[in-house]
Amino acid sequence: MARRRVAILISGRGSNMTALIEAAKAKDYPAEIVLVMSNIAGAGGLAKAGDAGIETATVESKPFGKDREAFERKLNETLIAHNIELVCLAGFLRLLTPWFVRQWEGRMLNIHPALLPSYKGLHTHERALADGVKIHGATVHFVVPEMDSGPIIMQGAVAVRDDDTPDTLATRVLGVEHCIYPNSLRLVASGRTRLENGVCKSDASGSPDDALISPEVI
């Protein structure tokens, strides 16, 4: 089966972008990262992508002002010109309009640093700590017009420690992100996911006895 052509959209350093690029180097990986595009000129991830031999592009959002759709039409033109089949958002700091999301329905993935549907939006680690949750994590989902609300493809969790700060928790969650994003793209690109009534199903499954309990009493 031909590898699916993937574009990654970034606004910054692109740490999840790097994880996807590394995973796609494997010969059996079903997706190929062919384009990294940023809405901010000079974003750190562009140089990293270039060093990895991947084509980069910049479509600056600033000149379009409040005309979000005009910016997105330019973005979309670039994606179509590169024959992109799947889009991965990796720290792309733009709220996308329903128009753009519709163009890529079921073909655009995002990663969020929380166990959705909990903690949509920003400052997820601070909010989780303030609530005293014992398990936290990250979610890869398909993008829908409503923010952080699309069908969930994969989740990964970490135990929250009593001495955690937002930074220490973020570091452990980032490790989970770098694992579940490449694996989610693997599932989607290989055709192993399907959407049923707004829920993502796949032929992959965790072990039936998988359990993360926190805190654990020894």
Residues with active-site annotation? 112
Pairing of strands 86-89, 55-58: unpaired
Bridge partners for 47 per DSSP: none
Q: Is 192 annotated as a binding residue?
A: no
Q: Is 129 annotated as a binding residue?
A: no
- Tell me which residue of 66, 78, 139, 122 sits closest to 104, measured CA to CA: 78
Q: Is 137 annotated as a binding residue?
A: no
CB 37 within 8 A of CB 66: no
Q: Is 93 annotated as a binding residue?
A: yes
Q: Is 20 annotated as a binding residue?
A: no
DSSP 89-114: ESS---PPPHHHHHHTTTTEEEEESS
Q: What are phi and psi of 199, to 5 degrees?
A: -115, 135
Q: Is 110 annotated as a binding residue?
A: yes
Q: Is 175 annotated as a binding residue?
A: no
Binding site per annotation, positions = 14-16, 68, 93-96, 110
Binding site per annotation, positions for (6R)-10-formyltetrahydrofolate = 68, 93-96, 110
